[in-house]
Amino acid sequence: SILATVIQTAEPTAGGTISPSSPMGPKEVELILVKEQNGVQFTASALVTPTGQTHPSGEQRETWGKKIDFLLSVIGFAVDLANVWRFPYLCYKNGGGAFLVPYLLFMIIAGMPLFYMELALGQYNREGAAGVWKICPIFKGVGFTVILISLYVGFYYNVIIAWALFYLFSSFSGELPWVNCNNTWNSANCSDLNATLLNDSHKATPALEYFERGVLHLQDSGGIDDLGLPRWQLTSCLAVVIVVLYFSLWKGVKTSGKVVWITATMPYVVLTVLLLRGVTLPGAIDGIKAYLSVDFLRLCDAQVWIEAATQICFSLGVGFGVLIAFSSYNKFSNNCYRDAIITSSINSLTSFFSGFVIFSFLGYMSQKHNVALDKVATDGPGLVFIIYPEAIATLPGSSVWAVIFFIMLLTLGIDSAMGGMESVITGLIDEFKFLHRHRELFTLFIVVSTFLISLFCVTNGGIYVFTLLDHFAAGTSILFGVLIEAIGIAWFYGVDRFSDDIQEMIGQRPGLYWRLCWKFVSPCFLLFMVVVSFATFNPPKYGSYYFPMWANMVGWCLSISSMIMVPLYAIYKFCSLPGSFCAKLAYAITPETEHHMVERGEVRQFTVKS
């Protein structure tokens, strides 16, 4: 027989009286089990509901199975393909080690404060990117902005993972398909003579032709107005990616928190293995020296500082609503300050570490083909789908190394894609409560919708759609979104109030440094970045192909469609509130939990006389 005794401790209510059934605050429960089986065995255990699991409002919410699940999810999201194909090239191009000066400066004054801000915002309010704005209702539009941005990014980001999967399947062969020009997709311009090839713009490497002609079938498209039908091979790979995403997300953080144990850790294992192989190659040390060479004169160039600031904005993953969504499943008392420092530091160190892996192989390629390093150094998809596979193809056991490399790309991409999807799903089911009961169906709806739109990117001319989405979906719009976020918290909700919330969670108030960054430094930094983004805008192009005017207009409409949610929702909210103009304004900028103060004529931060 099993006997259970439950003892619930009473807690004082706000008025100071004792109420055993008070809904406010956590309850301590002691469970005593007495079990009899072939004799008598006594087992007593005390179960205490952690104070960290319940918000002061008494709201219960699903939490991560383990703290490490959350950390790995954040790291897995923030550490993505750009850490491998973007940062090392920027570092090399902008003064080597000298580039770390503006990079680390912007990390400290803007990157980490914004990262910390989003983690704390989600953890305290325990809702997705839109729901957290109950703290200042007129700003809820920015929540829908970041949800839309994450959705748009999913339209093309999953395609990169599908490419990596296609390459992975192609690597299971005796000879890699991108090593010679004897294939059906090769053109007359293909040449195996790589030594002279890199100096001849009229020739193409087998690796380049495999990517553009063998995988993308770009030769069958005349441009973005001649897409053709989806390629069945890439469509199949994309479908596999979507299925993996669905079954990683359908049950919430309980399932995704387990998947990241593989997807977030595997890249570090593979990067280490590739580095150990890379440094043994001839020319590798020269490549690493070029990566780290210090040229402080480059710091006089404003473009270096702009690129460092841009890299910080995009590499940490702020502004996608993902950090807010992930932290909303934390226990209330979780130390989000420590998490912000740990995860943002790991992200930057990973970028720096991957540079050694990339440039050891680029140095090898440079020496093998007897050309300058800048002839082989590049960034973007070209690095991981053309240059790096070409380098791997020259190694003994090349198929094995190719399989290892593309498994790394898959794991780098899949958890970042999971993060973007979770931002959309959590943001919308928290805003529309009836969706909570149908999480599996809603998740299926989101991933299938994403798959259908992504089909445009796996057509013959899909690379043009991909380039257009990559250029417009999360450029200026995401900088704008984070700027509005920072203004809403620092200047309307209030840094002091926000600091009180953090103190309530972790027991210590943010220092003066963090408060100054939130109030002044980060908003100014973001405003500068938004202005620079507009001022330095260049129309997208792919190789020598320039997009027609209508395509650029479509791109701008896509970008504006997310940003316009901020003023549209503000107008809607303002018009739907009761009372005079001043009363509407008071309701719009006051946390929903304090609207009773507005009814009494009190506004927390502003004095408005009607």
379 assigned ligand-binding residue: no
412 assigned ligand-binding residue: yes
Mark out the alpha helices in 126-209 (DSSP H runs). Answer: 140-171, 194-197, 206-209
Apex 530 CA angle, 555 and 292, nearest 5: 100
Apex 107 CA angle, 104 and 113, nearest 5: 150
According to DSSP, residue 511 is labeled P
Closest CA to 594 of 136, 143, 141, 140: 136
201 assigned ligand-binding residue: no
Residue entry with tokens 């001839």:
282
Closest CA to 89 of 440, 364, 428, 362: 362
416 assigned ligand-binding residue: yes
> Which residues, 6+ apart, have CB-to-CB distance to 608 below 8 Å?
582, 585, 586
C-alpha–C-alpha distance, residues 115 and 78, integer Å: 11
Cβ atoms of 79 and 260 within 8 Å: the answer is: no
132 assigned ligand-binding residue: no
CA 393 to chain centre: 31
Per-residue HEC secondary structure of 553-593 comes to HHHHHHHHHHHCHHHHHHHHHHHHCCCCHHHHHHHHHCCHH
> Which residues, 6+ apart, have CB-to-CB distance to 529 below 8 Å?
309, 310, 313, 479, 483
Q: What are phi and psi of 191, to 5 degrees?
A: -145, 135
C-alpha–C-alpha distance, residues 142 and 132, integer Å: 10
> Which residues, 6+ apart, have CB-to-CB distance to 206 below 8 Å?
178, 179, 180, 181, 183, 186, 190, 192, 390
57 assigned ligand-binding residue: no
Q: What are phi and psi of 212, to 5 degrees?
A: -80, -35
222 assigned ligand-binding residue: no
Cβ atoms of 50 and 332 within 8 Å: the answer is: no
Residues in binding site: 76, 78-79, 83, 315, 347, 412, 415-416
Residues in binding site for Na(+): 76, 78-79, 83, 315, 347, 412, 415-416
